[in-house]
Amino acid sequence: MLTAITRGVSPSIAACELTFLPRQTIDLNKSILQHRRYEGCLREFGLRVISLAVDPYLPDAVFVEDAAIVLDEVAVVTQMGAETRQREIDGVANALAHFRKIEFLRPPATLDGGDVMRIGRTLCVGLSSRTNKAAIRQLRKTVRPFGYEVREVAVNGCLHLKTGCSYVGRNTLLANPEWIDTNHLKDFRLIRVPAAEPWAANTLTINETTLVPKSFPQTRRLLENQDFRTRAIDICELQKAETGLTCLSIIFEDRLEKPAGARS
């Protein structure tokens, strides 16, 4: 059974980290509602959603993906690139410990989970402002015994690799090649996002349906014209915090029972 770990929107989300976007007013109530609808959408797709407790002192904690990489055999807990986010890690690690053996990246490594795109046994890892070469080396050493290949992909112009690229199935990537180096991705078919929607590359594909933010209708039509099944979902308030659809959950195959203290 697929399980998604999420974390609710913090009342301090207005103080979130921003790198490439100007700060805008975030409607807290609207962002909470959009996040709950996101969780509801995951449930509609048959996922069990485990929602970790909201922390009012962790404005970025809703972007739970950055705290860990969950593979079939192991969960790798990261050292996030923004120092203010380090306190998010323990809660995610404690939840994942009920499902996987845990490995931790260690300083000087810094890595955000948003920089890791898994396609089968390949992990494409963005070298970005949040993820460094030390982390890529540690990750490669950690996952090599399980048969995973790690590919380094340079990221420029956006926060994470998955801001500029996502896997939509059928050996196909949706990407903004202005923001990522696609030289190590040449064995995949590439669909370029429309020029008018440069932030549209972050999508979430579950059970052969690709979720696309409602704010990117051209991208949705582009995918549908190439016979990809899509669904639009509104996360406009959360997008002001420089997020995408993948950032809001950690999705993995669940083989154990629900962690104590978690809400599903």
Answer yes or no: are the C-beta atoms of 50 and 259 closer than 8 Å.
Answer: yes
Distance in angstroms (rounded) separating the CA atoms of residues 89 and 205? 25
The enclosing H or E element of 250 equals: strand 250-253
Q: Token pair for residue 131?
A: 């993820």
Distance in angstroms (rounded) separating the CA atoms of residues 68 and 103? 10
Q: Pick from 155, 130, 159: which is nearest to 21 by CA?
A: 159
Active site residue 160: yes
Tell me the CB-side half-sphere exposure of residue 172, using CA atoms within 13 A. Answer: 16
Which residue in the list 16, 158, 160, 165 is annotated as catalytic?
160
Bond prior to 108 in cis (omega within 30° of 0): yes
Distance in angstroms (rounded) separating the CA atoms of residues 145 and 254? 21
Kindly report the length of the chain: 264
Q: Pick from 77, 79, 93: which is nearest to 7 by CA?
A: 93
Answer yes or no: are the C-beta atoms of 117 and 166 closer than 8 Å.
Answer: yes
Active site residue 247: yes
Answer yes or no: are the C-beta atoms of 223 and 174 closer than 8 Å.
Answer: yes
Which residue in the list 16, 158, 165, 247 is annotated as catalytic?
247
**Catalytic residue ranges:** 160, 247
